[in-house]
Amino acid sequence: MTMTSTGNGGSFELATPHIDRTWRERFVVEQRLADRTGAQIGDALATVDAHCAESGETAQEAFGDPAAYSRSLIGDAADEPMRLAPRTVAGIVCGVLSLLILPRAIEALVEGSSFRITGGDVAAAVLLAALVAVIFWRPTPVLRWLVRRPATAGAAVFAVLIVLVVPQALLREALLEVGPVTPLVVGAVLLVLSVVLPWGDLSQQDPVRDPRARETGGGGGIGWFTAFLFPVLTVIMVGMNALFRAVS
């Protein structure tokens, strides 16, 4: 699967004035989750808009629920589970490992101490492994929830980060100690790989195109953010670790 932006863009919105914005956005999300191209989505939206313009009906009245209508267009393929590209999966794994290693290595380097693998690190590793397993096994429901409820999803991400940091802050007894330089280098390499490996998929531009007009919609904002997700999370975790050290 190629992961691209779900956005439909302002120019396409102007070209489909007879489709309710909420209906259109839900339809686009469902089509993207089914790995439909921007051209295919644009063609389907143009058909819906033309029908609504001629009949005077809303998209909801004429075509029903956007998710159900999307599945009707896709047919049997709608029941096929989404598959992430192997390099994207590898990038996610590298990103998860960098989250486990790099913040701790930076902390050890700043404090002039050894890199310690603690009980909190083990607990965080177990939690992250469970989250990665859920994303790998059930990616479509997870992505659908993320794009449908961005505010709730953002709060959930911060909650997960807190859950990861708290056991690391409380369970600090060392199970293994090594120098900080090697973990720092390994964590940095893994972080770079978390961007480089999935970059070809996550940064691709595939805007929703209206076949009736020359304009194309959409940018790659979501793709760019997704490609740099783990560096952003690493910065947040380093900051949270520093805050816990300051108040403890």
Is the per-residue pLDDT at 221 higher than 50? no
Instruction: List the domain range (segments joined by +) for residue 55.
Output: 10-79
Percent of the chain topping pLDDT 90: 10
Q: Per residue in 79-104, pLDDT tens? A: 555 556 677 778 888 888 888 889 88
Residues 75 and 91 in one domain: no
- Determine which helix (DSSP H) or strand (DSSP E) holds 18, and give its type and residue range: none
Residues 185 and 126 in one domain: yes
User: What's the chain's average pLDDT?
Assistant: 76
Is the per-residue pLDDT at 6 higher than 60? no
Residues 172 and 236 in one domain: yes
How far is the C-alpha of 209 from the C-alpha of 145, rounded, in Å?
25
Sorted by sequence, the CB contacts under 8 Å of residue 63 that are 6+ apart come out as 48, 51, 69
The whole-model pTM stands at 0.55
Greatest mean pLDDT among 4-8, 52-56, 109-113 lies in 52-56
Q: Per residue in 113-152, pLDDT tens? A: 888 888 887 887 788 777 777 766 666 666 666 666 666 7
Coil/strand/helix, residue 176: strand
- Determine which helix (DSSP H) or strand (DSSP E) holds 211, and give its type and residue range: none
Is the per-residue pLDDT at 8 higher than 50? no
Residues 231 and 125 in one domain: yes
How far is the C-alpha of 176 from the C-alpha of 166, rounded, in Å?
19
**What mean pLDDT do residues 9-38 have?**
74
- Note whether residue 26 is domain-resident: yes
**Size of the chain, expressed as the number of residues it contains:** 248
DSSP-assigned letter for residue 78: G
The last residue of a domain, from among 79, 99, 130:
79
- Note whether residue 129 is domain-resident: yes
- Note whether residue 210 is domain-resident: yes
Residues 52 and 32 in one domain: yes
Question: What pLDDT is recorded for position 145?
Answer: 67
Total tally of structural domains belonging to the chain: 2
Is the per-residue pLDDT at 182 higher than 80? yes
> By C-alpha distance, which of 88, 66, 40 is closest to 206?
40
12 touches 208 (CB < 8 A): yes
The last residue of a domain, from among 31, 47, 79:
79
Question: What pLDDT is recorded for position 139?
Answer: 66
- Note whether residue 242 is domain-resident: yes
The last residue of a domain, from among 57, 79, 101:
79
For residue 19, the tally of other CB atoms under 10 A from its CB is 24
- Note whether residue 5 is domain-resident: no
Residues 90 and 197 in one domain: yes
Q: Per residue in 223-239, pLDDT tens? A: 555 677 888 888 888 88
The DSSP-derived string for 115-171 is EEEEHHHHHHHHHHHHHHHHHHHSHHHHHHHHHH-HHHHHHHHHHHHHHHHHHHHH-
| Secondary structure E strands in 32-139 | 115-118
Burial of 202 from C-beta contacts in 10 A (0-12 / 13-18 / 19+): buried
